[in-house]
């Protein structure tokens, strides 16, 4: 019994992180719709999108790439803010390119934020 508890505790302690890339997306949404939803009513948008793994379709506005990954912004109705997609690996995307990005939505901070992104 003690052993079972110890093994369970050990497995819990070392359980893996959420596998966003391997998880099936719960929804597909357009970048502009996602952004407008957040701008209009952040709390309601969080009800719908927060913590979801989703696919976002949009157009690349810019890509800041370093050796530690890429931060890609998808264009929206706003001139400056949009959907910020955080990639743990550098990706080769150019502004104007149409993309489908899968990521984990962590909320709204000037931009809508997707982390652990992969290209679809």
Least Cα distance to 108 among 55, 57, 48, 63 occurs for 48
Angle formed by the axes of helices 42-49 and 31-40, to 10°?
130
Task: Quote the least distance from Cβ 1 to another protein, whole Å.
Answer: 20
Question: Is residue 15 involved in binding another protein (CB under 8 A)?
Answer: yes
**18 within 8 A of 103, measured Cβ to Cβ:** no
- Give start and end residues of each alpha helix (H) in the chain: 2-13, 31-40, 42-49
Question: Is residue 40 involved in binding another protein (CB under 8 A)?
Answer: no
Burial of 48 (0-12, 13-18, 19+ CB in 10 A): middle
Question: Is residue 41 involved in binding another protein (CB under 8 A)?
Answer: no
- Measured from the CB atom, the residue of 40 and 68 that comes closer to another protein is 68
Task: Quote the least distance from Cβ 47 to another protein, whole Å.
Answer: 10
Chain positions 42 to 61 lying near another protein, rule: CB under 8 A, are 46, 50-51
Only segment of 22-30, 32-40, 64-72, 90-98 that touches another protein (CB under 8 A): 64-72
- Bridge partner residues of 99 (DSSP): 58
Size of the site for another protein (CB under 8 A): 27
For another protein, the binding residues (CB under 8 A) are 12-18, 46, 50-51, 64, 68, 71, 73, 79-80, 84, 86, 104, 106-111, 113, 115
């Amino acid at each position: 019994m003690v052993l079972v508890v110890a093994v369970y505790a050990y497995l819990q302690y070392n359980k893996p992180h959420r596998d966003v890339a391997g998880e099936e997306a719960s929804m597909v949404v357009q970048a502009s719709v996602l952004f407008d939803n957040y701008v209009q009513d952040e709390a309601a948008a969080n009800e719908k999108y927060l913590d979801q793994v989703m696919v976002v379709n949009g157009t690349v506005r810019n890509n800041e790439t370093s050796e530690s990954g890429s931060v890609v912004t998808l264009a929206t109705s706003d001139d400056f803010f949009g959907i910020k997609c955080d990639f743990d690996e550098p990706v080769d995307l150019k502004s104007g390119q149409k993309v489908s990005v899968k990521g984990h939505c962590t909320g709204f901070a000037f931009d809508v934020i997707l982390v652990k992104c992969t290209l679809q």
